[in-house]
Structure 1
Amino acid sequence: MITSVLLNTLTQAQPAQSQTMFENVTIRPKFSPDPMIIRGISGGSVPATQMAGRKETPTGPCVGFVDEAPNHTINLKAFFNYLSLQVESPQDTTIVVSGPGGTWCNDDFQGKNPGIAGQWQPGAYKVWVGSYKQNNFDPYIIKMSEVRLLNPGPYRR
């Protein structure tokens, strides 16, 4: 009874769109809302190094474990002079992004949360959100924004 009341309250408090998990999105510059939020569950059994094809990228180390299939595909319909993807989770997560021009990884963009920011070419980007322990699964959100942060962290594309 308490669980159904809590679930009902959460469902009423949040728009239906925010309930979607593992959503794929298509965006253009000046998208709205900004930040755009997508949700998922991190983790898997595949080492991030295997998915990325290396141990480190210019944006950070390829660490943790991901699922074989990407959590999201983000289709960029035009060039972005600046776009940031920032993961927020109650647990320490990692990210692997593969698309036009290469593959990028990150561990700690802001605190324990991973992210990647900078210029992005048009095209499809596969996004994996990883967990540090194999087959450990944690909820997360990814905030996508064109707004530059005052302190964006040490890793940028």
Structure 2
Amino acid sequence: MKKVHVLAMAASAAAILAIPAAAQNVNARPNFGVVTLRTGFTPDPRIIPVVSGGTINAVRVRGSGVCRGFISSSPDARLVFNTDGNLPLIISVDSSADTTLVVNGPDGRWRCDDDSGVRGLNPSIRYARPRSGRYEIWVGSYRSGTNARARLHISEVRSQ
């Protein structure tokens, strides 16, 4: 009986460990390119045209709180940012569709947003004291199976 109990516990542990990790690949080639910026960049905002969405439910992003929407495995954009930390870094999306935002910062922390942007259903994430390094950025679609044209804004001045 004891042996059966140990085997059941081992099977349960194996099942828990088999749960897939977040499917985001921070090292994959970004879908819409790499941007390198330094504090005081112009033009501000820097705008990157993207298409939102993917097949991965952003709820699976670990350590981020609650993420919403559907994103791709590869980041949509990679920002390589050099800063003195005196200006904020604002990453936001402008779209006529309901979009979401997922960012993995240089410290490895995940941040997500749904509707904090200036207009309605647009997301925005603000780093008050940004770090230098890589920011991997995903623009999600709120609803599964939908994609929308969007504009990713990177700014030190304002959110979209």
Are the counterparts in 1 of residues 64 and 110 from structure 2 also a CA contact under 8 Å? no
Equivalent residues in 2 for 1:49-64, closer than 5 Å: 49-50=59-60, 52-54=61-63, 56=65, 61-64=66-69
What is the number of residues matched between the two proteins? 125
Normalised by the length of structure 2, the TM-score is 0.72
Structure 1 residues 148 and 137, CA gap change in structure 2 (3 angstroms): closer
Distance 2:149 2:158 in 1: 25
Divergent runs of 4+, >4 A: none
Distance 2:84 2:72 in 1: 28
Instruction: Give the strand-richer structure, 1 or 2.
Output: 1
- What is the match of residue 83 of structure 1? 89
**Larger CA Rg, structure 1 vs 2:** 2
Distance 1:86 1:146 in 2: 11
Distance 2:140 2:54 in 1: 7
- What is the match of residue 9 of structure 2? none
Structure 1 residues 23-42: Cα deviation after superposition (integer angstroms, max 9, x where no partner): 31000000010111111000
Structure 1 unaligned residues grouped into runs of 5+: 1-20, 153-157
The correspondence for 1:121, drawn from 131, 155, 159, is 131
Distance 2:151 2:80 in 1: 18
Equivalent residues in 2 for 1:38-53, closer than 5 Å: 38-50=48-60, 52-53=61-62
Are residue 99 (structure 1) and residue 105 (structure 2) matched? yes
SS in 1 for 2:129: strand
The correspondence for 2:44, drawn from 25, 34, 44, is 34
Structure 1 residues 147 and 55, CA gap change in structure 2 (3 angstroms): closer
Identity of aligned residues (%): 37
SS in 1 for 2:88: strand
- What is the match of residue 7 of structure 2? none
Normalised by the length of structure 1, the TM-score is 0.73
Structure 2 unaligned residues grouped into runs of 5+: 1-30
- What is the match of residue 17 of structure 2? none
